[in-house]
A = this chain, B = another copy of it.
């Protein structure tokens, strides 16, 4: 772990705890009917996780002058979309994974039908989180823009589309540009949305600053996925909670499989640098975002 990571973990732990508290409140109680569905939703959303997307929402909030309390709904929303996507991606008909973050996947811990429904209901809850449960008042037009962004990042131009491209690519040799396009949709779109969704509520954010943050979200999103691919090849199962080389075993198209490990590492670092450079017009208020990008490349899980 880098020196920055050690010195800056406090704000990250704070946001992580914060969003976990929000999720805890938003998710339906595990003893209210249908209890099994609610239990599966909680299992999927409250299990161990890095909470990367909510962290980005809150950290972007600092950069654009919004307090965390204004962003609890959006922070929960992006995490719920992420959680739902993991549940569905792990299904037997998709990646057929038994292990996720060191625990049985949702369809293993419950059953397949419950996992499908839990994913469906987590997606709904994400949209609900943007329109209900608001700690602070917000313009309806801003909220609506957030719904639009979340939908765009989740649909066929975003996550669902990226997953479809991923499935279609199994066993095929892709061009580097094709893998980048797939990653941009599958993982990048939601990470970018985490940044933009916080911008949507920022009063008087200038167009150049919005553009800079968009650039940051896009580069950091791709960098994150390349590191993920690298960890799949090189990572320690005990740390990642996933089976090492699982993607390679399924002949999934990963970045290092196409470019080699050294080039993939360099590309991830380059993208993180580009993300930090995009924030040149910001002062100390973008410090958390800069740290986040710098640490991304150093992470081990």
The residues of A with any CB-CB pair to B shorter than 8 Å are 28, 33-34, 36-38, 41, 84, 88, 91, 93-94, 111-114, 116-117, 119-121, 123-125, 127-128, 130-132, 139-141, 143-144, 147-148, 150-152, 154-156, 160-161, 163-165, 167-168
Contacts and interface: CB of A to CB of B under 8 A. Distances in A.
A156 B80 CA distance: 14
Contact of A131 (B37, B88, B117, B151): B151
Contacts of A164: 34, 36-37, 114, 117
Contacts of A37: 156, 160-161, 164
Contacts of A152: 128
B119 A156 contact: no
A124 B148 CA distance: 10
Contacts of A132: 148
Contacts of A34: 156, 161, 164-165, 168
Contacts of A141: 140
B93 A116 contact: yes
Given A84-B120, A91-B116, A120-B123, 4 more contacts: A37-B160, A88-B116, A93-B111, A120-B120
A116 B140 contact: no
A155 B128 contact: yes
Contacts of A140: 139-141, 143-144
A277 B147 CA distance: 37
A156 B116 contact: no
Contacts of A127: 127, 147, 150-151
Which residue of A38, A41, A123 has the most chain B CB atoms within 10 A of its CB atom?
A123
B116 A116 contact: yes
9 contacts: A33-B161, A34-B164, A34-B165, A113-B167, A124-B154, A124-B160, A125-B151, A127-B150, A140-B141
B88 A120 contact: yes
Which residue of A120, A130, A143 has the most chain B CB atoms within 10 A of its CB atom?
A120
Given A152-B128, A161-B34, A93 B113 contact: yes
Nearest to A146: B131
